Amino acid sequence: MLGAAATRRPPKYESVLARSETLQFSMNSDVLTGALLRTLARAKPGGSFLELGTGCGLGTCWLLDGMSTGSRLISADIDPRAQAIAREELEPDARLTFVLGDGGEFLERSETRFDLIYADAWPGKYTHLEHALALLKHGGMYVIDDML
Ligand SMILES: C[S@@+](CC[C@H](N)C(=O)[O-])C[C@H]1O[C@@H](n2cnc3c(N)ncnc32)[C@H](O)[C@@H]1O
């Protein structure tokens, strides 16, 4: 059983969640997934991270909360309305870069390799899986959920 500290919500969590509800966005990562993402991000100080499917930025919050100051996160989504919430809430964080566009196209052209890929959209999970795995560094981590 996880203690309270493990599921302490990251900064911006509550405001991102509230704004996602006004958009009736129903695909936010849940708390246990977020807590896992934060823990994994902590395991890669100075790491390079990729999130496919920003949504409104809830998973992004958790990743940022685990990342060291020298880490970098790219988060891509094809939906400008959802990603706008994440941009407005989180963009001041210089470790974070948003990409608005198709995740599959991003994977096809990326020359960056990653310590962790959170594939939370169809591209990188149900399509372009080989592209995503090829972009992982040695010892990199590939994380997916919503497989049921
Ligand atoms: C499960 S939600 C992401 C939730 C978010 N990662 C979180 O932690 O709260 C899936 C997202 O994938 C996006 N998406 C769907 N098709 C996509 C595509 N082809 N390329 C990029 N993003 C896509 C959707 O717009 C949606 O915001």
Residue 81 has pLDDT above 80, yes or no: yes
Q: Is the CB of 59 under 6 A from ligand 1?
A: yes
- Any ligand 1 atom below 6 A from CB of 27: yes
Cβ neighbours for 74, distance < 8 A, ≥ 6 positions apart: 49, 50, 51, 96, 97, 98, 99, 112
Q: How far is Cα 120 from Cα 136, in angstroms, rounded to an integer?
A: 16
Q: Tell me the angle at which helices 31-42 and 58-66 cross, rounded to the nearest 10 degrees.
A: 30
Residue 3 pLDDT class (50, 70, 90 cuts): confident
Query: Domains of the chain by range and CATH?
Result: 29-143 (3.40.50.150)
Pocket test for ligand 1, best of 20, 73, 79 (most atoms within 8 A of CB): 79
Residues 12-34, mean pLDDT to the nearest whole number: 96
Is the predicted pLDDT of residue 99 greater than 80, yes or no? yes
Q: Which of 75, 102, 80 is nearest to 23 (CA)?
A: 80
Q: Would the pTM of this model clear 0.85, i.e. be above it?
A: yes
Give the pLDDT confidence score for residue 1 in this predicted structure.
57
Q: Does 2 or 148 have the greater pLDDT score?
A: 148
What's the mean per-residue pLDDT of the chain? 96
The dihedral sign for the CA sequence 112, 113, 114, 115? negative
Locate 71 and state its tokens: 């880490």
Nearest CA to ligand 1 atom 11: 53
CA 31 to centroid of ligand 1, rounded, Å: 17
146 versus 48: which is more confidently predicted? Answer: 48
Q: pLDDT tens-digit profile of 41-65?
A: 999 999 999 999 999 999 999 999 9
Weakest mean pLDDT among 33-42, 103-112, 139-148: 139-148
What is the mean predicted confidence (pLDDT) over 101-123?
98
> Exposed/middle/buried for 18, CB within 10 Å: 0-12, 13-18, 19+?
exposed
Which pLDDT score is estimated for 22? Answer: 96
